[in-house]
A and B are shown apart, each in its own frame.
Chain A
Amino acid sequence: MKRIIQWGMSLFFVLMASNAFAVADLNPEGKFKVIPAIMMISLLVLFVMVGVFSKAKDTEDYWAAGRGVGQIGGGMAIASNWMSAASYLGMAGLIYLKGYFAISYVLGWTGGYVLLLVLMAGQVRRYGKYTAPDFVGDRYYSTTARLMSALIVILISFVYAVGQYKGIGMMFNWIFGINYQTSVIVGTAVVLTYVLISGMLGATKNMQVQYVVIVITFFLPLFFIASKLGYFSAVPQIGYGAAVWDIGHAEHGISAAAAEPSYYLPFAKYTMYHWFALCMTLMLGTAGLPHVIGRFYVVPRVSDARWQVVWGLFCIALVYWTAPCYASFAKFSNLLGTAGTITPDAIVVNAAELAGLPEWFAGFLAAGGVSAAFSTVGGLLMAGSSAFAHDIYFRVMNPNATEESKMKVARIGTIILGVSIVIVALNPPALIAQITAVAFALGGNTFFPLFLLGLWWSRTTKEAAIVGMIVGLVVTFGSMLIPKASLLAYYIPFTSSTVVGAPLVILTMIIVSYMTPEPSAEIKTLLYKVHNDA
């Protein structure tokens, strides 16, 4: 298994070396922006304070937040844990570049929750485990499966967090005028500090604060942008619709030569298959991300676990209804001929600049983008380090470990993970949302089939789980190695490998299950109880 991690790492280094996505300096004059900086710093202080005042007491707290969080609060925590730099910064950037095609990101990252709720949330909570590898280890009665799934959790956290670090680095670069590399390192130091101090209980409270910050910063500048550009500004989420229309139809001051019908036409830039593949990958990935599934253990009652999903999705939707506004308004300003630089991953900030708003509006957005990235990185580091401390160290290496030593290992794990992510993030291999999509593909190719079959088909055996994970890893990372020009790369793009991977893994698991001895009556009885007992 170590091999696979090394392999994944070296793969990333290869991708890094190609350097096709060198990060543009957003602040070439190195100007220190005073008001945005004050906003950013006071937000960070606020987060750390909330963390300090709700410090984790013991390991139980550190991982599962004492299992006592309400429905709406839990929903907000799901949402802020979920909404990362990819949602806040990356999604708008992709819509700006790819138009209607990128709406598949918006749908993929919301529609997956339907699957998660209907097929998993309640059952996972009833199964009553702490972490995703805990479930895999017990359900598939195998230490090997537990270890492998713990390593996959770490791998997913790793890939996912790279995209977040990039977002943090870019925003710090924009605000403080320090270069991107230094920004990533400074940002990491701050994230690590507050994750280590707070643990997940603090993190849950922090997440609620962060959600409020994300929504306010994301909504407020939009009213001004919409009204500046002459669109219905009372509800900019409706008002931007006319801008989408005007971009394609050369109205509202856009010249016929500048109009871009490919922005709104569904198949002007990509094929239907790619839309489908990407959307499906993100949906299945959503239902297979360990740090998302992990949130259901925090809830005391099964019913609460489910209602949290509804609230969480609603809280997420508020932001996802809004992201295309930034993309469309930036596109509109751009086509009008407004001068200004555009960096796709900073489009949200650019949109405010292009509309000619004062600097502090953009500062507001940059601060919000950083808090979005922070909340997700917090959750990811937590998931990764608990996989290390709980599932690998405590369950396999040292079952007699004391609370104290578990806690220590969790903290060391957080630091190792946090620092190793920096190395890759210093020279990110792709756009934020694309890097994040790879993490989703990995979740969709491994955990989604494991949970789906594990919960819904008691015949699934441990051998099937192990082979399934191997196939899932091969498909995910294999898709990155296929030469771009081959036909295979067309059908299995690296951001969308789950569309082929998940069915393949499920099929493999079914075949292997029939070839290997049935799980014991105990395993089956437990699963039967999950579905049929109180």
Chain B
Amino acid sequence: MEQDVNINFFKPVGDFMKKDVAMKKKLILVWFFATYGFLFLLKLVADPNDVVELTLSTGEVITQVTGKSFLTETQFLGFPFHWWYSAQFLILLFIGLCYIYCKFIDKLEAEHGK
């Protein structure tokens, strides 16, 4: 029988690729939710009474929350917390994710004699 040589991210073949892809999925999920989940959270917990009028490029004027909340009004290391989280912590997290993946894949490759 001919070997199945099809590659599909969602149908990994072989032990190596299965483990590798499982790890990749986890890291991408963390990456996505840490970045954009937090953005959504900022909107979610924002003080509904603190609003601002914005003129969009379409000319339409909308009223939206400024995003003021306990996340922006708590000081951490002097920063408004959300600023510190985005401008400093997330970058550190990205480096951490890359580090974890490199460690993981080096080990996996060694186990599979690569």
Question: Which residues of A approach B to under 8 Å, CB–CB?
Answer: 100, 103, 106-107, 110-111, 113-115, 117-119, 122, 232, 237-239, 241-242, 244-245, 248, 261-262, 264-272, 275-276, 279-280, 302-303, 306-307, 309-310, 313-314, 317, 320-321, 324, 456-459, 484-487, 489-490, 493, 521, 524-525, 527-528, 531-532, 534
29 A-B residue pairs with CB within 8 Å: A103-B86, A107-B90, A110-B94, A111-B31, A111-B94, A113-B94, A118-B28, A119-B24, A237-B88, A244-B78, A265-B66, A267-B46, A269-B54, A271-B64, A272-B43, A303-B109, A310-B95, A313-B95, A313-B98, A321-B88, A458-B8, A489-B57, A489-B58, A527-B5, A527-B7, A528-B5, A531-B16, A532-B17, A534-B113
Q: How far is the CA of A270 from the CA of B113 in the complex (A)?
A: 51
Are the CB atoms of A456 and B9 closer together than 8 Å? Answer: yes
Are the CB atoms of B80 and A245 closer together than 8 Å? Answer: yes
A-B interface contact total, Cβ < 8 Å: 184
Q: A267-B43, A267-B46, A267-B65 are in contact. Are A485 and B59 (CB under 8 A)?
A: yes
Q: In the complex, what residue of chain B is closest to A272 when comparing beta carbons?
A: B43
Q: How far is the CA of A117 from the CA of B80 in the complex (A)?
A: 31
Are the CB atoms of A245 and B99 closer together than 8 Å? Answer: no
Q: Output the least CB separation between B96 and chain A (Å).
A: 10
Q: Output the least CB separation between B86 and chain A (Å).
A: 5
Are the CB atoms of B83 and A244 closer together than 8 Å? Answer: yes
Q: Output the least CB separation between B48 and chain A (Å).
A: 12
Q: How far is the CA of A238 from the CA of B106 in the complex (A)?
A: 34
Q: A264-B80, A456-B9, A528-B5 are in contact. Are A490 and B68 (CB under 8 A)?
A: no
The one of B54, B77, B91, B98 that contacts A241, using a Cβ cutoff of 8 Å: B77
For B, the interface residue count at a CB cutoff of 8 angstroms equals: 60
Q: How far is the CA of A122 from the CA of B35 in the complex (A)?
A: 24
> Told that A106-B86, A458-B5 touch, could you supply 15 new A-B pairs with CB distance under 8 A?
A100-B83, A114-B31, A118-B101, A241-B76, A245-B78, A262-B52, A266-B39, A267-B52, A271-B62, A303-B102, A303-B106, A310-B102, A457-B9, A459-B6, A490-B57
Chain A positions within 8 Å of B83 at CB level: 100, 103, 241, 244, 264
Q: How far is the CA of A238 from the CA of B31 in the complex (A)?
A: 24
Q: In the complex, what residue of chain B is closest to A320 when comparing beta carbons?
A: B91
Chain B positions within 8 Å of A490 at CB level: 56-58
Chain A positions within 8 Å of B14 at CB level: 531-532
Are the CB atoms of A244 and B80 closer together than 8 Å? Answer: yes
Q: Output the least CB separation between B71 and chain A (Å).
A: 9
Q: How far is the CA of A115 from the CA of B113 in the complex (A)?
A: 25
- Asked if B70 is an interface residue, CB under 8 A from chain A, the answer is no
Are the CB atoms of A524 and B6 closer together than 8 Å? Answer: yes
Are the CB atoms of B114 and A534 closer together than 8 Å? Answer: yes
Q: Output the least CB separation between A139 and chain B (Å).
A: 11
Q: In the complex, what residue of chain B is closest to A324 when comparing beta carbons?
A: B87
Chain A positions within 8 Å of B39 at CB level: 266, 272, 275-276
